[in-house]
Amino acid sequence: MTSTADKKKAGTGGHRVLGTRPIRHDGLEKVTGRAKYGADVQMAGLLYGAMLRSPYAHARIRSIDTTKAVELDGVKAVVTGRDMPEPLPGGSMRETHANLRVIKENALALDKVLYKGHAVAAVAATSIHVAQEAATLIEVDYEVLPPVLTAAEAMKDGAPLLHDDIAAMGRGHGPAGDSSQASSNVASHIQFKRGDISQGFDEADVIVERELTTKPVHQGYIEPHNSTAWWAPDGNITIWTSTQGAFIVRQQVAHLMRVTAANVKVVPMEIGGGFGGKIDTYLDPVTALLSRESGRPVKMVMSRKEVFEGTGPGSGSSMRVKIGARKDGLITAAEFSAVFEAGAYPGSSVGAACMCGLAPYKIENLQVDGFDVVVNKQKTAAYRAPGAPQGAYAVEAVIDEVAQKLDMDPLEFRLKNAPSPGDRQPSGVPFPSIGCIEVEEAMRAHPHYSAPLGGPNRGRGVATGYWFNAGMQSSATISVTADGTISLVTGSVDIGGSRAALAMQAAEVLGIAAEDVHPGVADTDSVGWTGHTGGSRTAFATGIAVIKAAEDVRRQMARRAALLWECKPEEVEFVQGTFVSQKSRDDRLTFKELAGRLMATGGPITVSVQADMDANKGVAPSFAGLMVDVEVDPETGKVDVLRATAFQDAGMAVHPRYVEGQMQGGSVQGIGWALNEEYWFTGDGVMANSSFLDYRMPTSLDLPMIETVIIEVPNPGHPFGVRGAGEISIVPAMAAVSNAVSRAIGTRMQALPMSPAAVLDALE
């Protein structure tokens, strides 16, 4: 176990590069404004696109008249959902886990609009102003229908139905898992169950049962969604876009436009934040369609209002948790029911909530139920460990209350019930190598935990969280240059420093400096299939591809050295960046020296590798904890965060500064989710706070410096022990803040956000 303070400049764990803190490779371009983002795309003949969006949360489209828009001077194309082809039948979308009908109808509504802001038609014109004016000239005849805005409303008998046949949307299970119940707003029901729940609760000395709720929240990325498409006369489509997954965009556009993937090239631009919100595609099929109709390239960039109203937030939720424990602190039984809003189409993050909520605890008797419910709001999207923060918030609040009733220290209670490798997760799958106990022990030993609170109306909250991380496929290509540096090309979009993390792993294998690696992100024609940047998979899974490529480079370099020294390749050792002959120890060449002689020994070396099964087999989950001190003003209800310390098992922190940044960023997002953030809807389904002025996210003025403690329990499934690090930090944050506020005011908070008004209501 290693804390942040143990990180030395020269690396850790015997490594020369890993564990150091080099300057990020793309830093200069980004701080000087030279990096190119999606909105920066320019080219000859470029048209500008604008969208017409629904003013209603639920309505049937009777007709659309585009005549006036088409006749406006400067308009080159107008399209509606009727212009989008039917997707290719039988096309496999396993790589993207996507439902093509949902993507198509969410991009451009067909028969109904299902949320305020649902795209109805799109215009391409010679200027953005003409396009926007033309969009207002499109006449739509709506039959307004009653909306359902919460899962509770949507699940009632007789509630208005969003879809006549929800099975066709790709989930197809009613409340009891009966696929015959097609006419329902409940898209799916999942369940995990083991042991004897009734007997477990009978054995309990203390039982706590609570219902807790959260609201939809925005991921908080600064850059709006964008897309530029050029459908060339030869039938090939090129798309420039800010996305977390270029290959996902390629596959989805190909299927929706009825072309092969070979006809679509996606160029991933730099991305101004995503946090899961830029995995889904919204504009790319529409810009491609407009380009086909106009014969010219088309660019669309969302306004901030469009981002809020037309793209996916994290799910709102309603959860019930019941936990029983004996006097000695052993949990005897647990029930966890989670109802998640999916928005207009099936596919909320309830499954992950069910997998993660109870995961930090070893419980023999449990039942977990999850319901995916459609409502007349934006189709939800991923948000940093999607589903897990909500699940942790509900479970950890009840865990904290059980510990209080048992008069036990909250961390002692957690440690008493913490799982070890081999124990079963809620899903029944055994845990691989995990660091739950190590994280909780680090929390208990930290000076923050024993520090005095120092005043009235203050509370300290702790919480832990779990995220399973992901593997999937990644590709990497390494080319050795004559000066001894290497070019590293991957398909992983860089959101939080993955260029550096991948470059450092290559450098470690090849015995060169991180600065001698030139990492780049390629388009879909220039590198093999690579999964999206999400699921905390990039440094781990793409890292495995990079390591395998670097090892192959090292083997080929050893063969070149053997040619020079007239020995067998197996007689060449690689020691700390230097090739050494076993026959004559005086025969030695550094990596750079040997690189300069490649042309004389057979030519340049380029290696391409795909990590597939290796990555999927080696995935290891992560645990994290957050400790928060708050002060509550009893007169205004305002909550001030006084101190926060984040703990996280990173397996191996490749670049500690970036891991610390992820820990701090995730904690801040969770604190905002807990105290201020929510999508506020009027009774007719209109989002009333669709700007950063009214959607209140915390800034540096609202928070203290987030302290960080990195714990390292190596992942045996990765050559350097790496685990995912990007998502787990947000998981315990809402729960820790909620527990702190509840202890400060002496009553249990049961809904997020805990705004000043909500806190005052609780105090009263």
Segment 39-83, tens digit of pLDDT? 999 999 999 999 999 999 999 999 999 999 999 999 999 999 999
| 149: Cβ contacts below 8 Å, ≥ 6 apart | 57, 375, 376, 377, 681, 683, 685
What is the H or E stretch that residue 286 is in? helix 284-294
Confidence of residue 177 (pLDDT cuts 50, 70, 90): very low
Crossing angle of helices 284-294 and 100-107, rounded to 10°: 70
> What are the φ/ψ torsions at residue 762 (nearest 5 degrees)?
-65, -40
Query: Would you place residue 5 in the very low, low, confident or very high pLDDT band (cuts 50, 70, 90)?
Result: very low
Residue 110 burial by Cβ neighbours in a 10 Å radius (0-12, 13-18, 19+) = middle
CA 723 – CA 621 distance, rounded (Å): 7
Q: Which residue has the tokens 């088309």?
A: 298
Summarize the confidence of residues 355-371 as an average pLDDT: 98
702 three-class SS: helix
pTM beyond 0.85: the answer is yes
Alpha-carbon span 499 to 23, nearest angstrom = 11
- How far apart are alpha carbons 404 and 126 in whole angstroms? 65
Q: What is the spatial distance between Cα 483 and Cα 481, in angstroms, rounded to a whole number?
A: 6
- Tell me which amino acid residue 506 is: A
- Res 411: pLDDT: 98
Q: Per residue in 293-338, pLDDT tens?
A: 999 999 999 999 999 999 999 999 999 999 999 999 999 999 999 9
Calculated CA dihedral for residues 384, 387, 388, 392, nearest 10 degrees: 130
Listed residue (247, 243, 241, 253) closest to 289, CA to CA: 253
- Confidence (pLDDT) at 182: 56
Q: Is the pLDDT of residue 507 over 50?
A: yes
Distance, CA of 732 to CA of 639 (rounded, Å): 18
- Alpha carbons 755 and 546: distance in angstroms, whole number: 46
DSSP state of 314: B
From its phi and psi, is residue 637 left (phi > 0), alpha (psi between -120 and 50) or beta? left
Q: End-to-end distance of the chain based on CA atoms, in angstroms?
A: 45
Spatial CB neighbours of 689, under 8 Å, sequence gap ≥ 6: 308, 679, 680, 695
CB 292 within 8 Å of CB 49:
no
Query: The tokens of 188 are what?
Result: 């799916």
Rounded CA-CA distance 667/430 in Å is 28
Q: Is the pLDDT of residue 552 over 90?
A: yes
Output the pLDDT for position 412. Answer: 98
Dist. CA 641–CA 662, nearest whole Å: 19
Of the candidates 576, 541, 481, 548, the one whose C-alpha atom is nearest the C-alpha of residue 10 is 576
- CA 478 to CA 545: how far, in whole Å? 10
- Helix or strand holding residue 450 (H, E): helix 447-450
pLDDT at 7: 41
- Please give the share of the chain, as a percent, with pLDDT higher than 90: 92
pLDDT band at residue 496 under the 50/70/90 scheme? confident
- For residue 739, pLDDT over 60 is answered with yes
| Number of other CB atoms surrounding residue 89 within 10 Å | 8
Q: What percent of the chain stands above pLDDT 70?
A: 95
Overall average pLDDT of the 111-120 stretch: 98
User: Is the confidence at residue 92, as pLDDT, over 60?
Assistant: no
Alpha helices (H) along 379-446: 388-405, 410-416, 436-445
For residues 335 and 325, the answer to whether their CB atoms sit within 8 Å is no
Chain length of the chain = 764
Q: What is the pLDDT of residue 548?
A: 97
Neighbours of 21 (CB within 10 A): 17
For residues 229 and 124, give the distance between their C-alpha atoms in angstroms, rounded to a whole number: 12
Q: What is the pLDDT of residue 89?
A: 62
CA torsion sign, 337 to 648 to 463 to 380?
Answer: negative
Other residues' Cβ atoms within 10 Å of the Cβ of residue 85: 14
SS (H, E, C) 464-486: EEEECCCCCCEEEEEEECCCCCE
CB 675 within 8 A of CB 733: no
User: Hey, what are 123's tokens?
Assistant: 């215009």
Rounded Cα gap, residues 91 and 718, in angstroms: 33
Give the three-class secondary structure for 398.
helix
Confidence of residue 12 (pLDDT cuts 50, 70, 90): low
Residue carrying structure tokens 């550094």:
590
Q: Are 309 and 209 in contact (CB under 8 A)?
A: no
Q: Based on C-alpha coordinates, what's the Rg of the chain? A: 27
The residue written with tokens 């928070």 in the block is 703
Assign 178 a pLDDT band (cuts: 50, 70, 90): very low
Geometric angle at alpha carbon 735, from 733 and 738, rounded to 5°: 110
Residue 6 clears pLDDT 50, i.e. is over it: no
Query: Given the structure tokens 């109203």, which residue do they identify?
Result: 309
Distance of CA 549 to the CA centre of its chain: 27
Q: Lowest mean pLDDT: which of 73-82, 89-98, 252-261?
A: 89-98
Categorize the per-residue pLDDT at 612 as very low, low, confident or very high, splitting at 50, 70 and 90. Answer: confident
Task: Lay out the sheet containing 517-521: strands in order across.
Answer: 517-521, 486-490, 474-480, 606-611
Angle at alpha carbon of residue 586, lines to 585 and 587, rounded to 5°: 90
The mean per-residue pLDDT over the stretch 592-607 comes to 97
CA angle 728–734–737, rounded 5-degree value = 125
Question: Cα–Cα distance between 499 and 521 in angstroms, integer?
Answer: 8
212 SS3 class = strand
Model pLDDT for residues 372-416, shown as the tens digit of each residue: 999 999 999 999 999 999 999 999 999 999 999 999 999 999 999
Q: What is the mean pLDDT of the chain?
A: 94
Q: Are 344 and 115 in contact (CB under 8 A)?
A: yes
In this predicted structure, what is the pLDDT of residue 87? 77
Closest CA relative to residue 620, chosen from 458, 432, 489: 432
Please report how the helices 246-256 and 100-107 are oriented relative to each other, as an axis angle in degrees rounded to 10: 80
Select from 680, 678, 665, 679 the least CA-distant residue to 733.
Answer: 665
pLDDT digits (tens, 9 = 90+) for 446-476: 999 999 999 999 999 999 999 999 999 999 9
Confidence of residue 175 (pLDDT cuts 50, 70, 90): very low
Cα three-residue angle 529-531-532, rounded to 5 degrees: 135
Q: How do residues 218-242 score in pLDDT, each as one tens digit?
A: 999 999 999 999 999 999 999 999 9
Rounded Cα–Cα distance for residues 80 and 263 (Å): 23
- Which residues on adjacent β-strands are paired with residue 581? 572
Closest CA to 759 of 544, 341, 457, 386: 457
The predicted pLDDT at position 529 comes to 96
Q: What is the 3-state secondary structure of 198-246?
A: HHHHHCCCEEEEEEEEECCECCCCCCCCEEEEEECCCCCEEEEECCCCH
